[in-house]
Amino acid sequence: MKIPLAGVIGCPVGHSRSPVLHGTWLQQHRIAGHYVPLHVEAADLVGVLHTMPRMGFVGANVTIPHKEAVLALADDVSETALRIGAANTLTFGPDGRLHADNTDAYGFIANLRQNAPSWDAASGPALVLGAGGAARAIIVALQDAGVQEIYLTNRTAARAEGLAQEFGVTALPWADRARRLPELSCLINTTSLGMAGQAALDLDLTALPATALVTDIVYTPLETPLLAQARAQGCMAVDGLGMLLHQAVPGFERWFGTRPEVTDALRAAVLAA
Ligand code: ATR
C-alpha cells in the first residue's frame, strides 16, 4: 500500500507551522502518512503540481506566493476559493483532477465557535481592520455566518474601497476607525499591527460594548495588545492561533480520511515548535 503524502507548498516555507500541526495529528491518529514542507519557486509551480500525484501526494496546503496562482491551475475551484480569490488547500483526486479550496473562512468561524460560543453573528455589525488576503477570507466568513453589516477600514484607503465594492460592504476612513465601536458585535484585526516587533494597533476600545467579540489574526504573541485591552474591559477576546489550527481540519480529513480535533494539546505542540 502506498503511504499517503501531503505537504505545504510555498516560498519561503521554512516558517510554516503546518508540518508540525499535521504531523501531530498523523501521530495522534496513528496514520501511516507524511506531511512535508516543499520550497517551490513560482517558475516551478506547474511542474511540481503535475508531478506530486505521481509521487504519492494526496493533497497540499498552499501558502505565499502561490495562493492566487493555483486557482488558474486547478481543474475544479470551490465557490469559496473563487470568492476569496485564493486557495490554501489542494486535493489530488483519484481521477487525476486537481481540486482547489480555501478553508481560511471556515477556520476563522470554527475558531470563534470553539472559543466564543455565545457570540451571535446576527447580533450587530462587524468591523474588519486591514484589506489584505486575510481580510478577504474573513469578509467571506462573516457574510456566510450571517453578519448583516460589515465595515472595513485600511491604512491605504483605495484597498479598502476596492474590497468594499467587490464584497458589497462599507469602507470607512482609517482615521475614523473608532467611530463605529459603540454599535459593533465583532472587531477583527487582519493587519500585522500588534505582532512581535511591530507597532501596536492604535485604537482605544473604551466605547466597545462589553458584549462585543474581539479577535486578531496575529498569534505571535497570542495575547496582542488589542486582545489584552478587550479582555481588560470585559469583552470576549479570541486569539488568532485557533484560525490557523482550524483551517487545517478540512484538508487533513480529505487527505487522510479522519477528522482531527483542535485541542489544547495541539495548540501547545504548535506553539512549542
Ligand atoms: P495579508 O494577505 O496577510 O492580509 P497583506 O496583504 O500584506 O497581508 O496585508 C497586510 C495588512 O496590514 C494591510 O491591510 C496593511 O495595510 P496597507 O494596505 O495600508 O498596507 C496592514 N498594515 C501593515 N502595516 C500597517 C501599519 N503600520 N499601519 C496600518 N496598517 C498596516
Q: Where are the domains of the chain?
A: 5-102+244-272, 105-239
Residues 6+ apart with CB under 8 A from 175: none
Per the annotation, the verdict on 67 as an active-site residue is yes
ipTM of this predicted complex?
Answer: 0.97
- Residues 115 and 193: their CA atoms lie apart, in Å, by 22
Provide the β-strand partners of residue 186.
126, 213
Distance (angstroms) between ligand 1 centre and the Cα of 114 equals 27
Pick the CATH number of 5-102+244-272 from 3.40.50.10860, 3.40.50.1370, 3.90.1150.10, 3.40.50.1000: 3.40.50.10860
- Residues 76 and 253: their CA atoms lie apart, in Å, by 18
- Give the model's pLDDT for residue 62: 98
- Assigned C-alpha cell, 3: 503511504
Q: Tens digits of per-residue pLDDT, 60-94?
A: 999 999 999 999 999 999 999 999 999 999 999 98
User: Which of 66, 67, 254, 267 is an active site residue?
Assistant: 67
- Assigned C-alpha cell, 147: 453578519
> Same fold for the domain at 5-102+244-272 and the one at 105-239?
yes
Instruction: Determine the residue of 68, 136, 155, 163 to mutate for testing ligand 1's pocket, defined as the one with the most ligand atoms within 8 A of the Cβ atom.
Output: 155
Asked if 119 contacts 103 with a C-beta cutoff of 8 angstroms, the reply is no
The pTM (predicted TM-score) of the whole model is 0.97
User: What is the number of the ligand 1 atom nearest to the C-alpha of 190?
Assistant: 4
- Give the model's pLDDT for residue 204: 98
Q: Which CATH architecture has domain 105-239?
A: 3-Layer(aba) Sandwich (3.40)
Residue pLDDT tens, the chain, 273 long: 789 999 999 999 999 999 999 999 999 999 999 999 999 999 999 999 999 999 999 999 999 999 999 999 999 999 999 999 999 999 999 888 999 999 999 999 999 999 999 999 999 999 999 999 999 999 999 999 999 999 999 999 999 999 999 999 999 999 999 999 999 999 999 999 999 999 999 999 999 999 999 999 999 999 999 999 999 999 999 999 999 999 999 999 999 999 999 999 999 999 998
Of 188, 191, 229, 224, nearest to 210 by C-alpha is 229
